[in-house]
Amino acid sequence: MKHIRTIFAAMMMLFAASAFAQSEGAAEYSMLNPPRPTNSGEKIEVLEFFFYGCSHCFHLHPQLSAWQKHMPKDVQLDFVPTQFNPSWEPMAYTYYALKAMGLADKLDDKLYNAWNLDRLVLVEQDAIADFVAQQGVDRKQFLDYYRSFSVHSQVEQSKQMMHQYQIEGTPTLIVDGKYSITGLGPEETIRVLNQLIAKARRERTRH
């Protein structure tokens, strides 16, 4: 069983890598056609489409987290778990359940490390509940949220958003419903993110 789990973990990581849209020499960002409406009001919206088992998301995560602590006050950063195949869906439920409990930020690092360093394959509800309980989360409360209609609705909405924003790989950042960043290294991603936020800010002031 352990051997099978190891093989499965390797396959999952390879799939995550293949989902990462990386093309050398390509433009640093692309434009959404048509642009999507934002839910951030007067703030510039930044969305990160991610998967805990994606090695590229794992490498971006520390830098994006550091950026988030000092991001401009007129920016709103939200996270959207992706589901390119059914085995990714439990992590979407996990993210939204933890978010409802106010624990998503606290557990992010541990979930990324579990997948990418410890090579844990968290695709079964009970195994996920055991894991979060080991991190000090109330197991029953977590499962109540995990199985709730509210979390289910958010997972379904995240699936729709993947199609609406034309997401083809992870991580992908969407800036103000107009610009898509994917296929860059962590440092380049943050650099382009800052440039596009400045661009979106200028565009907003013209309207």
End-to-end Cα, the chain, rounded Å: 60
* Average pLDDT taken over every residue of the chain: 90
pLDDT value at residue 10? 44
Q: 61 with 53: CB under 8 angstroms?
A: no
Q: What is the pTM of this model?
A: 0.87
Least confident stretch, 5-9, 79-83, 140-144, 168-172: 5-9
How many angstroms separate the CA atoms of 148 and 146, rounded? 6
How many angstroms separate the CA atoms of 55 and 10, rounded? 11
Q: Is the pLDDT of residue 106 over 80?
A: yes
Please tell me the total count of domains within the chain: 1
How many angstroms separate the CA atoms of 115 and 200, rounded? 34
pLDDT value at residue 73? 96
Quickly state the pLDDT bin for 115 (edges 50, 70, 90). very high
pLDDT value at residue 19? 43
Q: Is the pLDDT of residue 42 over 50?
A: yes
Reference 171, options 66, 59, 93; nearest CA is 59
Q: Which residues pair with 30 in a beta bridge?
A: 180
pLDDT value at residue 111? 98
Q: Is the pLDDT of residue 27 over 50?
A: yes
Q: Which domain holds residue 49?
A: 2-205
Q: Which amino acid is at 146?
A: Y
Return the CATH number at 132. 3.40.30.10
